[in-house]
Amino acid sequence: MAGLLARRIILVVPLLAVILLFTFLLVRISGGDPVGLLAGPTATTEEIALVRASLALDQPIWVQFGVYMGKVLQGDLGNSWLSNRPVLAEILDRAPATIELMFWGVLIGAGIGIPAGLRAAFRPDGSFDQTTRFLSLLGFSVPTYWLGLIMLFVFFYLLGWAPPGMGRIDLFLTPPDRITGSYLIDGLLAADWEAAGSAFSQLVLPVLCVAIISAAPIIKQTRAIALEVLASDYIRYARAQGLPHGQIRAMALRNSMTPVVTFIGTEITGLVGTTSLIEYVFAWGGLGQYGLSAIIAGDFAVVQGYVLVLALFSVLVFLAVDVFVMLTEPRAGATP
């Protein structure tokens, strides 16, 4: 088992190399002079000289790639010309905001989506199934940006239940000392109830948006997976064995989990884009917003780093899913 896991983890290495090659080429083939792209329009002659030297442009291209790889592995992703700060530091600053948003959003989305999908599958075409099918269709068809704006319009402007979408904590509060990077958790850890409360109320609407958008496909997919499991030979045979209904449901549930988790894994990686838009609407200041602004501003060092982090994130999610499958699925051969 350890061997299988190790082999799966080692697979990440060539994948990372390919990703690095891609981000490397991103700047080389975007047209224009890579020095100009990375140094930005406001660069002084010294800055340009510095960037030029760091790229090893007088060397053959594969040496340049080697130099780039070496730097990335040392944590040097270059500097943003907009802020003149190291890209890695900026990414690390913003990552907790995005992780927090996606974590709660997907957790709630899956917490609603999985049970709803299962329940719909247990009584297909029943009233619950029809209602959830309608709702998830809504979730599918509403544009992300618009959903965020409508949420703000209703819950902030009309009802006044939620704070304005202006960041992760009330403007007049100081964020708690950074421990995890999540204002909510750090506030709770520091027993700073005011900060934690404000962080919580700021979280509600954007998290709800992510939850709604992620729940719709989870419901649909869980329902389809569970229906297939319920129609399987082994469930039919479980009925023929006269097993209690509770046990049969539990069996159906367990057998649905691997494909559902795999699906959620792929969904999460796709959800990054959606989350960026929500971050924009709520001025969340996370990675997504950061990446989007960098693309718009042509801040190439940041774009390069952002793409790298996204790819890395996908790799990690798929790795986690694969490890989960290995540990829960006897056919994958690693079950203890």
Cβ-based nearer residue to another protein, 93 or 329: 329
Work out whether 123 is an interface residue with another protein (CB under 8 A).
no
Contact code string over 96-115 relative to another protein, x by CB under 8 A: --------------------
Contact 335, 17 (CB under 8 A): no
Which helix (DSSP H) or strand (DSSP E) does residue 10 occupy?
helix 2-10
Q: Give the binding range for another protein (CB under 8 A) out of 51-59, 109-117, 138-146, 326-334.
A: 326-334
Work out whether 241 is an interface residue with another protein (CB under 8 A).
yes
Least Å distance, CB 321 to another protein, is 17
Query: Is 269 buried (19+), middle (13-18) or exposed (0-12) by CB count in 10 A?
Result: middle
Work out whether 260 is an interface residue with another protein (CB under 8 A).
no
Contact 102, 264 (CB under 8 A): no
Work out whether 162 is an interface residue with another protein (CB under 8 A).
no
Work out whether 157 is an interface residue with another protein (CB under 8 A).
no
Contact 103, 203 (CB under 8 A): no
Q: At what angle do helices 287-297 and 87-122 cross, to 10 degrees?
A: 120
The strand pairing partners of 79, in sequence order, are 86
Work out whether 247 is an interface residue with another protein (CB under 8 A).
yes
Least Å distance, CB 247 to another protein, is 7
Work out whether 238 is an interface residue with another protein (CB under 8 A).
yes
Q: Which of 237, 273, 320, 327 binds another protein (CB under 8 A)?
A: 237
Q: Which of 18, 158, 171, 240 binds another protein (CB under 8 A)?
A: 240
Least Å distance, CB 333 to another protein, is 9
Nearest Cα residue to 316 out of 273, 277, 272: 272
Helices (H), 192-332: 193-230, 233-240, 245-281, 287-297, 300-328
Contact footprint for another protein (CB under 8 A): 232-234, 236-245, 247, 251, 254-255, 328-331, 335
